[in-house]
Amino acid sequence: MRKFAWMLSMTALLLFLASTVCFAEDEGRRFVDARGDTGYFVDVTTISIDSNHEYTADVAIIKAKENRLFSYRMHFDFAARTYQILRSATMTYDTREVSQSVKTPLPAAPYVPGSPIAAIVDYLYAWQRGFEK
């Protein structure tokens, strides 16, 4: 009986340690918006305030039904209402296995009010001022 209790305790400890490693990767990720089964997140540990209207941050778009995670390093210009993808990776969500990676920055593109990108910029603007949505 003691051996069983010891094994059960060790199994619980190993599961706990494994889960903390998995959750540490997503620790700074904050939910920003959702459209259907797609969630938009900003990693607050990566936010760089480049000026009073420019931000750079890691953004994750998770498509739950497809088990896909799209990871981006993005630059946002609040004043010009533009965003630029600096690098990107497409992954399987549950394994984080990268299926595609692009390290070449894309040209800046406009975003429209009410879009998920606009919600991300609004979140960054609120974060800069010390309060999150």
For the chain, the structural domain boundaries read 28-128
Alpha-carbon gap, residue 56 to 86, rounded angstroms = 9
Instruction: Give φ, ψ of 23 to 5 degrees.
Output: -75, -25
Using DSSP, state whether 33 is helix, strand or coil: strand
Whether the CB-CB separation of 78 and 121 falls below 8 Å is answered with yes
For residue 35, give both structure tokens.
């459209």
Q: What is the pTM of this model?
A: 0.76
Using DSSP, state whether 125 is helix, strand or coil: helix
Per-residue pLDDT of the chain (133 residues; tens, 9 = 90+): 665 444 444 444 344 333 333 433 568 999 999 999 999 999 999 999 888 889 999 999 999 999 999 999 999 999 999 999 999 999 999 999 999 999 999 999 999 999 999 999 999 989 888 865 4
